[in-house]
Structure 1
């Protein structure tokens, strides 16, 4: 729907971006002066109703949260959740719950930053830090996107192999063609892109709902798994998988992505309009991330109920899980559902990682590349190690590379989380929208937990 439809909010004018709308200083003035907007081709293109029932405004804001949630259930999550469930039963459900709560908080802060400042996180970093610091932050974020892309290449290649018998190397090469998928979807409009992503998420949810019913896990054991155990920290192998789960769940590039795509809504660029936008954008992302919690928990629960309970504690590879699911569950279609969900996950992750790459490159470097060129570059960097590892070590090597990619993602988290919390806690930048002191304390605690876990992982990896 066009933003100029009568009765709906219009493209924000320079007047609505002026300093009179907020007590924040320089950033908003830059926006009013015509500074480069985040994702300019879709910025403020989706209408938001002024009045009427609250459900109409919620529906207008539904979408960005689901694009963000894709990163929380990509193929990298599958590897860590399968490994955790088959080896340690339901114990690591507490880590999935904790990481999801972290994600809900951090994504709400990312949405707030984008709505209040008219900048995404990359643009905010560029405006606040020196050139060397920005360059290092950009490198860290690019490393995270490449690690995420690595997981997508492996996951999609494995899904193609399981469903159609395509060799892993050829499957990895075929994934280069999806560079044009985002271009096609964006040309049809951002709402079409959101509808595509949500449709695939529904497919994934249905597939795992059927598998959970077939697995029939003991409810008491599942509920107990959501209670944290000291063993998670004291057991090095469990800690390694736990940090992999956090890295696979709280995705650093999602913070950049969310702060940009919330600006696709043509909400009123006034204090009241921004306040409403923050409320509905936070509601959207919270609902979407609860779906991500269900998917991640479902993968681990199915692995625990199927493999751990039958003594198959060595199952940590997607291919193994595919082969064993149907026989162990006694449901012939279980393995096919598993592979279909994996393919849907890989396709969805392709879309969001491409968008995040565009936001990061434009925000940090002011460098604009065609979407297809940006995607081919990132995808090419990810395909090369997959092809080499597959050729040398086969499927087992790619599965280990998949888990390792999620640990790399976790390592990059502090470089996105710390600047985000710093910005939204700064009254000079956020004005009256600065987060309350209590929320700031919790956000810094989350950042501290992430840093501490990463330091412990490094010590265990190099000295343990």
Structure 2
């Protein structure tokens, strides 16, 4: 059995960061597998699900609880397939897509995945903004802007480590669950009636529409990418026994986490059924309506406040996973790695901008429709993640003995078919409504062309791996290796030495001499940053400049005594720009600088040179530590 391993690491900063074997009791070893599915589960209880749960409960009472259970079973099957892919092949879903499908098709799949992540983030932004509005009276526009403040939360959590990030998410899920436990206590539902909701039935076409919405809002496409990467944070032995053990424990991790998500969604539906449906209020689907009615009908303002708190927590917990999913699809599809901070800002802006525009142009009354729109967008993307996933875990060449069995394959394709049909039905209804509202031939043509294009892409997604007989090219994370050719051997001809007149200067000079040859020419440079220079922005003959020049001559004399031709020059005011100009002026082959020995806040206070300098010069930079 050959286990396919790639040099590329999904979520490289936390890849195999949790060792499940080292120095632990048996119970702790088992427990160390648990965690990834909890980050996944928050996507199943995000604010985008709440509207469909509220609508189902208020209109049809407990009748549609079985739909929630069915969608949860579907989610459990699909998430376990993702875990299997990540554990066995050591690659995430985006990476497997990239090595299987054509380049242009992969780019379209990447764009669709990014749209899905932005749509999910939009639901979280709106949910958090609505929660802040209901709880504190903050305008929705300001609530949306405040949601940008959590942009750096994930970065902080990642610094703490994978396990602490998982504990943070589990804590939020526990708080959401506690909020709804209190709501259940206040609502006092009839659990005998609740049990009847597990008997499958669809009363009418309106119930069918809501059932489609519940299924469409449950399984999230970005969660499929995310789970296949998160399971790789566990460091396991690459043998059959260890892989089987990992698959088993990850199954239980998913089962527990997704059942918790099911209980939260069921609690929302039961709450709507026992409070709104029983009081004859059959059209409650807006989060704001639910908030205001809960307090009145249950006779305590705590019912409303707990609902709003849970809404904020749901939005906040879901936002952590969006950036991780974005990192996965960008690195997997495009082989492009950007700063996590920039990644988070881009993702959040893609969600905030449409929310702000809708509020400014159409008013706060259209926010509910924007929330529904985000779920429709998610529904459109789902099949494009599910179908490749089933292809990959069915591949006996790549998965070996861990390829899924025929019965699992049949169940998976049945789920994919149900999801594709129901989601396309939901999308068709929404698009038909948009066409009717627009009453514009150009809009109609564009929407129809878009639908035809998506259907064609779906067919390619299904058929391409089946029809492709030739062996797919292996995923190349970096450009192909080429033989190394050097024109000549030799040392650096001209070396610029940047001195800051600190304790590090001795090491800078020492390393410069070690890197030199007999015919190496040195250029020593120091940047004057006196008050006069700061004011004039140019060279000046103040006391500090004269002292710096005298000291620079002493260094130059020492290098001359070592048999090296040496020149010296002062730069002024801007360290980065001045050193770069000296390197260019003298045609330097190498720049040697000292490490300033501080980071973080001190970089902000005292200024940071080395990292910026590396990007400003066109020659190698040697940093003397």
TM-score by length of 2: 0.67
Q: Is the aligned partner of 1:46 residue 2:15? A: no
Report the CA distance shift for 1:215/1:165 in structure 2 as closer, same or farther (over 3 A): same
Which of 263, 267, 273 is residue 232 of structure 2 equivalent to?
Answer: 263
Q: Comparing both structures, which one devotes a greater share of its residues to strand?
A: 2
Report the CA distance shift for 1:345/1:391 in structure 2 as closer, same or farther (over 3 A): same
Q: Is the aligned partner of 1:404 residue 2:373? A: yes
Q: Is the 8 A contact 1:75 1:346 kept in 2?
A: yes
Deviation at 1:160, TM superposition (A): 1.1
Which of 195, 218, 222 is residue 253 of structure 1 equivalent to?
Answer: 222
Deviation at 1:392, TM superposition (A): 3.7
Higher normalized contact order (CA 8 Å, seq sep 6+, divided by chain length):
1
Deviation at 1:143, TM superposition (A): 1.4
Measured against aligned partners, the alpha-carbon deviations of 1:160-196 in whole angstroms (never above 9, x if no partner) come to: 1122221100110111121111001101111111111
Q: Comparing both structures, which one devotes a greater share of its residues to helix?
A: 1
Deviation at 1:135, TM superposition (A): 1.1
Q: Is the aligned partner of 1:287 residue 2:256? A: yes
Deviation at 1:463, TM superposition (A): 5.5
Aligned ranges for residues 241-390 of structure 1 at < 5 Å?
A: 241-390=210-359
Aligned counterpart, 1:179: 151
Number of aligned residues: 433
Q: CA separation in 1, counterparts of 2:276 and 2:357?
A: 30
Report the CA distance shift for 1:282/1:51 in structure 2 as closer, same or farther (over 3 A): farther
Report the CA distance shift for 1:309/1:130 in structure 2 as closer, same or farther (over 3 A): same
Q: Is the 8 A contact 2:379 2:424 kept in 1?
A: no
Unaligned runs of 5+ in 2: 434-625
Aligned counterpart, 2:194: 222
Task: Tell me the secondary structure at the aligned position of residue 423 of structure 2.
Answer: helix
Aligned counterpart, 1:190: 162
Higher alpha-carbon Rg: 2
Q: CA separation in 2, counterparts of 1:405 and 1:283?
A: 31
Report the CA distance shift for 1:392/1:370 in structure 2 as closer, same or farther (over 3 A): same
Q: CA separation in 2, counterparts of 1:93 and 1:255?
A: 24
Unaligned runs of 5+ in 1: 1-21
Q: CA separation in 1, counterparts of 2:212 and 2:83?
A: 25
RMSD over aligned CA atoms reads 1.7
Q: Is the aligned partner of 1:86 residue 2:58? A: yes
Aligned counterpart, 1:16: none
Instruction: Tell me whether 200-209 or 156-165 shows the greater mean CA deviation.
Output: 156-165
Instruction: Tell me whether 383-392 or 146-155 shows the greater mean CA deviation.
Output: 383-392
Task: Tell me the secondary structure at the aligned position of residue 71 of structure 1.
Answer: helix
Q: CA separation in 2, counterparts of 1:36 and 1:441?
A: 32
Report the CA distance shift for 1:77/1:462 in structure 2 as closer, same or farther (over 3 A): closer
Aligned counterpart, 1:127: 99
Q: Is the aligned partner of 1:149 residue 2:121? A: yes
Task: Tell me the secondary structure at the aligned position of residue 114 of structure 2.
Answer: helix
Q: Is the 8 A contact 2:125 2:352 kept in 1?
A: yes
Aligned ranges for residues 42-81 of structure 1 at < 5 Å?
A: 42-49=14-21, 54-81=26-53
Q: Is the aligned partner of 1:107 residue 2:79? A: yes
Q: Is the 8 A contact 2:216 2:423 kept in 1?
A: no
Q: Is the 8 A contact 2:379 2:427 kept in 1?
A: no
Deviation at 1:86, TM superposition (A): 1.5
TM-score by length of 1: 0.90
